[in-house]
Structure formats: C-alpha cells, structure tokens
A and B are shown apart, each in its own frame.
Chain A
C-alpha cells in the first residue's frame, strides 16, 4: 500500500546584504511616498558595491597550487564576494571569482617575449560552469574534467578577501549596507525639497529642518558608524610591527634582522 506527499522549495540568491524591509525597519524610513521601494532598492544596490569596495580586498591573477585531489588552493583567506557581481551576496559562488588558464609554452608566447614584451603567456578565462566546487573557508576550488583545456596550462585566479569568514560577518555587512544606503538617501535629499513639499525630515527619532549643516551632521554620524563596521570586517593587509626593545621583540636577537616566526 502507498501514500504520497509533495515537497518543493524556492531557491533564492540575495542581491544585497540587506533587504528593503530590514532597511526600513532599521532606519525608520517607512514613508513609501517619500522613499519609494524603487529608490531604496537602487540605493541598497549602490551601497552594496561601496560596502564590498571598503570591506574586501581584491587579489588579482594569483597562481594557484594544485594538490593530489585536484583542488586548486588560493593563498589568502577569507574569500568574499566580488565587486560588480550582483548575485548571492553573503555566500561565495563561482560568480565571485575568476579563474584563468595560461598557455606559457606556445610559439606565440615565445614571440611575445622575443618582441621585448614581458608578457609571455596567453590567458583565457575558464567559464563559471567549469568550476565544479568551491570551498570559501578552506580557500580552494575544483574544476570540471574539461578544464584546464591542456594539462600544461597553469591556473590562476582573481578573487576577493574579507578579514573574517563571510558567514561570520553577515550582521556587520547588513548594517554597513543599511548605513551606506541611508547616507546615499540623505545626500540625495540634502539639496532637494521633500516630495511632499515639507522642508523637514523626521526619521528614526530625529527631526531636522532643511538645513545642509544638519544633514551633514547626521550623515557624519552615519559615516562614523559605517566605518566602525568597515574596520571590523576589512582584512588586515600588512606586517605586524613591534614597539619596544628586545624583551618585546618577536624577531630574534638582532634588531636589524627580520622575524623568524612568520
């Protein structure tokens, strides 16, 4: 004997780190006449690019290292969303990095070099469908059997890194996204009258009349809040330095030598 029941899902990809509802709830910009959904949606998407530019660092054309399981490893952590890839923010997908294969052995590449160019390879982008698996935490990807198209080709990659694993900074990304979208809206309103003809704005427990300096003060507060999130999330991209004498030094016994403990 048998019985049945159905199951179904909807699969979504987030286009921003926050939604319009989250934006309206957090900011108090609930007036849909003054702040239309289309306008807020556009500002949120513009703010996403700003957030990614401030919080993530791009790594270009890095040669990868392949292990015996055909995993191509990237040297840096943690992998983040790409600039300009307007899909699936908060989750790293194959659309968030570019993989290239390089031909360094053909006659053409020799010709380049003989012409005096320092470029001695031909590079081709591997399409996203050629990326079969990606592990953003461990920083490796796999390619399908079709790639690289020649076993002599080397693989390199463009990718973006954050200071912490992406799933750990979802909240910070969301708030940064909201804050920058709010700044964009206030900047727009600063030089204009409200649509409904009034000259003051009252949102989130704060009322200001149409005065540029008051707008600027509000924007500055938001800017500071935004940058506290940026500082928390962005990668540390430099060398540690020590201040102090030998007792605090981690370099070694001789002050003019570099560190031992990389």
Chain B
C-alpha cells in the first residue's frame, strides 16, 4: 500500500498541533481559521503557517519532497513566500516578515527538492515520519485592493519507493 499523507499544522508552540483542511493565510494563529473573520490588511503580512508534511502507511522510503503553487493567480500586491527549517519558531505576522519564509513560492514544479527531511534536501523518510517545518506567509503590499484573493492550490510531490 502506498503512503498516506497528512499536513500537521504547528500553532503557537511546537507541541500545539492541528490537522488543517486548508492553509488559508489569515491574521491570527489558528488552524482552519475563517479568512473573512481574520483578513490580512494592506501593508501587512499574514501570520505564518508552520506545518510539516507527514507520511504514514506502507512504503520503503520517501524522498525528494517538492512544494509549489500549482494553481491560482495572485492579486496585485499579493505574494506568498515559503521557507523550510528543521527548528520551530512561533508564527509572526502583521508588520513583521517571517524570518524563514522569505522566498517566493515556486509557481511550477521545481527541478529539485525544496523541502528538507532531517535538515537535508536529499534526506529520506523510512517507515513513517515527517518533513522539516515548512513556513508559509503572504505579504500584502500597499498596492493591494480590498478583495477576496484567489484560491491557490499548493501541490506537494515526492518520490516513493514502495
């Protein structure tokens, strides 16, 4: 049987976790928070989403994890940045840019892995396990208008040896 994949969201501490059904970038630290209740105001950053991608089930190993934005256009002034780290830090937002999520998320499948496993882009998961922390944050510049942004699809791909 192939692996089963779940997203594990880390909230205000490394031990406070949730299983999100979406990763809406909002102005509060909570899993599956309502984007209309917690909008991101112009000139600010959303609160960082910190998550891991967990692999369970039956497989020999998983490697080469890649994350990219496969669908959904940005509005003017809106960008999403990501970053990967083997250590947890508390989500930041508002006027503050996340210290790790500082690279624009790729908009096509990257040629090489961009999510580390055990601190290594060439790392593998054997049995079951998770990637390192992925941090996701949106930036809304002063050029943006009041609007509901387009939904974006984040795709995670990996190489699996059954």
Contact = CB atoms under 8 A, between A and B. Distances in A.
Contacts of A132: 143
A5 interface: yes
A8 B148 contact: yes
Contacts, number: 119
Interface residues of A, number: 24
A94 interface: yes
B7 interface: yes
Contact of A4 (B35, B95, B156): B156
Interface in B37-53: 39-44, 46, 49
B118 interface: no
Contacts of B26: 9-10
Contacts of B75: 11
Interface string A9-34: 11111100000000000000000000
- Going nearest first, the 3 A-B pairs with the smallest beta carbon separation are A91-B43, A12-B39, A10-B39
Contacts of A8: 22, 24-25, 35, 72, 148-152
A3 interface: yes
Nearest to A87: B146
15 contacts: A1-B159, A5-B23, A5-B156, A6-B153, A7-B24, A8-B72, A8-B148, A9-B26, A9-B40, A10-B36, A11-B41, A11-B146, A11-B147, A12-B40, A88-B142
Contacts of A87: 146
A256 to B, nearest CB: 47
A12 B158 CA distance: 36
Contact of A2 (B44, B95, B142, B157): B157
Contacts of A92: 43, 142
A14 B5 CA distance: 39
Contacts of B77: 11
Contacts of B136: 7
A93 interface: yes
A93 B3 contact: no
B123 interface: no
B25 A9 contact: yes
B142 A7 contact: no
A134 interface: yes
A167 B152 contact: no
B76 to A, nearest CB: 10
Most buried by A among B39, B42, B140: B42
Given A12-B146, A93-B142, A7 B152 contact: yes
Contacts of B148: 8-11
B60 interface: no
B152 A88 contact: no
Given A9-B25, A13-B146, A91 B41 contact: yes
A12 B142 contact: no
B12 interface: no
B104 interface: no
B63 to A, nearest CB: 11
A6 B156 CA distance: 11
A14 B158 contact: no
Nearest to B136: A7
Given A6-B153, A93-B143, 11 more contacts: A4-B70, A7-B154, A8-B24, A8-B35, A9-B149, A12-B40, A12-B41, A13-B41, A13-B145, A93-B42, A132-B143
A12 B42 contact: yes
A128 to B, nearest CB: 9
A93 B154 CA distance: 30
Nearest to A14: B41
Interface string B1-36: 011010100000000000010111110000000011
